Amino acid sequence: MPPHGVALAPNAGDYGVSFLADTSAKVFVAGHSGMVGSAVHRRLAALGFTNIVGRTHAELDLTCQPAVDKFFEAERPRYVILAAAKVGGLHASSAAPAEFMTVNLRITTNVLAAARRCGAVRKLLYLASSAIYAEDAPQPIPESALLSGPPAPGNEWYAIPKIVGIKMCQAYRAELGMNAIVATPNNLYGPRDPFPPEKSHVIPALIRRFHHAKATGAAEVVVWGSGAQLREFTHADDLADAVVLLMEKYSGHEHVNVGSGQEVTVRELAETVREVVGYEGRVVWDTSRPDGVARRVLDSSKMRAMGWEPKVELRDGLKKLYESYLRDGAMNNVKA
């Protein structure tokens, strides 16, 4: 019997076919060049999948419904992993709220509609985000906390399209019988995490800032807030493992949280990044700046009940991310 609250797919897969045994099937990874999509692509390739399809934005604009329809009609993938999204930190979404709302809503509606119409898709997995949960959600946050309150201020421009995506998958399942499932990861990091100041999340922002200070000999690095807030970080490779497991085992109506359980304060995170980068100056905490939500950790017991366990320790993941940052030319560009 499956664990309580976990709906397993029949015969470990749909239509009597295990996803992991269907390695010759065409799998469309939307957003394959991004942090999450590239991790999923690498994992599928390592598992022996031979027909993984991806398109860059220049090749396929997912916000254009006719282009998406044409792609699905021509390619007819059997599986779809929807990792494409317009992403960025709080500053990025607050600076362009209309763009974040419009782009993410269009991507979701276009891909779901085209996947349904083409008639070839057996299963679709949509990537949501922990930003969907209310600021005062219980900790650790269970899946049932969805819509218990509004998202944290500033997060709504990204969170609301993600909530719509979850509900659209549920609606397509209820009305049209489409096997659409949803994974909801917490704060992610890993290779291809964007580093530009206007786009980056907390980890790449800290790496960039400490590297800049080290390269220029700055005496101190200023970090916003008190550093007391607690955060959970999950490596993209661990999320990719969870995606594969969900494609293999899960066909439930409810979204599934995916969080590492590795909870640290932002102060501890900054200190670890400082050590990884090798910066020896001072860290100054600007307490005039807001901390944001005091704690945000997911209840991922549903995911763990399926056998998923994260493998990448935070320090190891940060080391590899800094190495990739250096490989991508940071030594020749020390702009903060």
Pairing of strands 263-265, 230-235: antiparallel
User: What is the rounded distance in angstroms from the CA atom of residue 84 to the CA atom of residue 39?
Assistant: 12
Kindly name the residue from 126, 133, 158, 189 that is annotated as catalytic: 158
Q: Using the predicted structure, report yes or no on whether residue 111 has a pLDDT greater than 90.
A: yes
Q: Using the predicted structure, report yes or no on whether residue 50 has a pLDDT greater than 90.
A: yes
Stretch 140-145: mean pLDDT:
98
Per-residue pLDDT band for 123 (boundaries 50, 70, 90) equals very high
Q: What pTM was estimated for this model as a whole?
A: 0.91
Stretch 296-312: mean pLDDT:
97
Q: Which residues does 214 contact at the CB level (< 8 Å), separation at least 6? A: 277, 278, 279, 280, 281
User: What is the rounded distance in angstroms from the CA atom of residue 6 to the CA atom of residue 189?
Assistant: 27
What mean pLDDT, rounded, does the chain reach? 91
User: What is the rounded distance in angstroms from the CA atom of residue 61 to the CA atom of residue 58?
Assistant: 7
Q: Give 228-240 pLDDT, tens digit per residue.
A: 999 999 999 999 9
Q: Give 5-41 pLDDT, tens digit per residue.
A: 445 443 334 456 799 999 999 999 999 999 999 999 9
Q: Give 65-75 pLDDT, tens digit per residue.
A: 999 999 999 99
pLDDT at 333: 46
Residue type at position 40: V
Pairing of strands 79-82, 27-30: parallel
**Angle, helix 202-216 to helix 266-277, in steps of 10 degrees:** 40
Q: Confirm if 93 and 100 have CB atoms less than 8 A apart.
A: yes
Q: Confirm if 64 and 13 have CB atoms less than 8 A apart.
A: no
Q: Which residue has the higher pLDDT, 331 or 61?
A: 61
Q: Which of 251, 111, 262, 249 is nearest to 185 (CA)?
A: 262
Positive or negative CA dihedral for 270, 276, 277, 279?
positive
Q: What is the DSSP string of 92-134?
A: HHHH-HHHHHHHHHHHHHHHHHHHHHHS--SEEEEE--GGGSB
Q: Which residue has the higher pLDDT, 32 or 332?
A: 32
Q: What percent of the chain has pLDDT over 90?
A: 81
Point out the least confidently predicted range of 120-129, 162-171, 196-205, 274-283: 196-205
Q: Between the CA of residue 277 and those of 137, 209, 260, 313, 336, what are the distances in Å? A: 34, 10, 23, 17, 14
pLDDT at 289: 85
Q: Give 152-190 pLDDT, tens digit per residue.
A: 888 899 999 999 999 999 999 999 999 999 999 999 999
Say whether 15 is catalytic: no
- Give the pair of three-digit tokens for residue 293: 């939500």
Continuous segment of H or E residues that includes residue 79: strand 79-82
Q: Helix or strand or coil: residue 185?
A: strand
Q: How many other C-beta atoms can be found within 10 angstroms of the C-beta atom of residue 43?
A: 18
Q: Give 245-279 pLDDT, tens digit per residue.
A: 999 999 999 999 999 998 999 999 999 999 999 99
Per-residue pLDDT band for 1 (boundaries 50, 70, 90) equals very low
The verdict on whether omega for the bond into residue 140 sits within 30 degrees of 0, i.e. cis, is yes
